[in-house]
Amino acid sequence: MTGMQHASLALAPMEAGDVDEVYALECSVFPHPWTRGNFVDCIASGYDAWVARDAGGKLAGYFLLMHALDEAHLLDVAVAGERHGTGLGRWLLDTLGARARACGATSVLLEVRPSNERALHVYTRYGFREIGRRKGYYPAHEGKREDAIVMRLEL
């Protein structure tokens, strides 16, 4: 699918009524998902949080940005499993980049697990570049920790 084919998706601010569905999608695609409370807290904090729904109202994906001065921090982004490989991830990155620019950001930062090869591939192809590592940033299996790769996209 191209970005034009995703134009049929409705993008709307994430609200409290979206949290259960967003959390279910999060749990379906990540081995170490955010908690439901993380989403509630982000909405309450006024973060730039958005959901994308198809014409039938089904959740296709979402993203959450935190703005700080001239930088946006991509806190979370996800695409529904059945939409992987359709270009929706790229469309969401285009959309969040436009949101970041509109809020005065000149770059977007994110952290990603080294083990999340699909996301690393998407981010690298999109133009994000590794700028550092955070040791032991993420919880991992059996009480272990996993580093985070810190990436930046210049807008």
Domain residue limits, the chain: 3-154
Q: What is the mean pLDDT of the chain?
A: 94
Share of the chain above pLDDT 90, in %: 88
User: In sequence order, what are the beta bridge partners of 151?
Assistant: 110, 130
Q: For residue 8, what pLDDT band results from cuts at 50, 70 and 90? A: confident
pLDDT band at 4 (very low <50, low <70, confident <90, very high): low
The neighbour count for residue 111, using CB atoms within 10 Å, is 17
How many CB atoms are located within 10 Å of the residue 21 CB? 15
> d(Cα 79, Cα 52) in Å, to the nearest integer?
9
| DSSP alpha helix (H) spans, the chain | 19-29, 36-44, 88-102, 117-126
Residue 59: pLDDT over 60: yes
Q: Is CATH 3.40.630.30 the classification given to domain 3-154?
A: yes
* Type of residue at 81: G
Output phi, psi for 45, to 5 deg: -80, -5
Running DSSP on this structure, what letter comes out for residue 106?
A: S
pTM exceeding the 0.85 threshold for the entire prediction: yes
- Token representation of residue 95: 């959309």
At 40 the pLDDT is 97
Per-residue pLDDT band for 5 (boundaries 50, 70, 90) equals low
